[in-house]
Structure 1
Amino acid sequence: MRTPAAPLTKDIAGLAALFATSGTTHLVKPEVFEPLVPKSLPRRREIVYLSGVAELVCAAGLVHPRTRRYAGWASAALLVAVAPGNVQMSANYGKRAQRRQDTSSRVAFAATLARLPLQLPLIRTALKASRRP
């Protein structure tokens, strides 16, 4: 006898929505994400598209009970994989804030810094999804 699937919780649904939004943005406006890809990697646009598709696949997998466990593991791995890009984004905004010395650049830099520790609860949520029957 099969164990019934656990209902979709708000935090897992929120993670799926975040992935869906970000994945769509990767595909529609890839130029926003290209500066986050290390310069040493070739075909940066393709990497941005690939990460967008991966986010959309994770989003879809998280909402479906049969794929939630696997999507949880994949989501956690994806969040770890993109963490260096988030650090790079903060570094880029920090350099811009130093050059421009205006309020909007400083606010944008502060926002990217504030975003970095948010990766941990997102990863925790993805791992929670990986344990859902």
Structure 2
Amino acid sequence: MSIIPKSWPFKRFMVQASGVIEVVYGALLLTNKGTRFVKSTLPAFLIAVFPANINMALKPSKLGKMPLPKWVTWARLPLQWVLIQGVKKI
């Protein structure tokens, strides 16, 4: 919840909902079912979570008690766009 911008409401719900969505996408891809659904909705999901990733890069983040290296939080931002482009090839 700490990576979600402070001004956003319902942080716990957003974390829980995004986690469920990620599991559903993973299950659909692993079972090779619903690829049309994943292909059409995953880009929007990745764009929706992008502000949290930006916030994580701008503000110090920790993984447990260990701080994440800044380069990791910044390197993942362009990877989000790579993933969006990769979805189109499913």
Query: Structure 2-normalised TM-score?
Result: 0.80
Structure 1 runs not aligned, ≥5 long: 1-33, 95-103
Identity among equivalent pairs (%): 36
Q: Which residue does 1:57 correspond to in 2? A: 24
29, 40, 44: which one aligns with 1:73: 40
Q: 2-side partners of 1:68 and 1:93: how far apart?
A: 36
1:93–1:112 CA contact under 8 A, matched in 2: no
Q: Secondary structure at the match of 1:93?
A: coil
Q: Which has the larger radius of gyration?
A: 1
Q: Number of residue pairs matched?
A: 87
Structure 2 runs not aligned, ≥5 long: none
The structural deviation recorded for 1:40 is: 2.2
The structural deviation recorded for 1:119 is: 0.9
The structural deviation recorded for 1:49 is: 0.3
Q: Which residue does 2:9 correspond to in 1? A: 42
Larger helix percent: 1
Query: Structure 1-normalised TM-score?
Result: 0.57
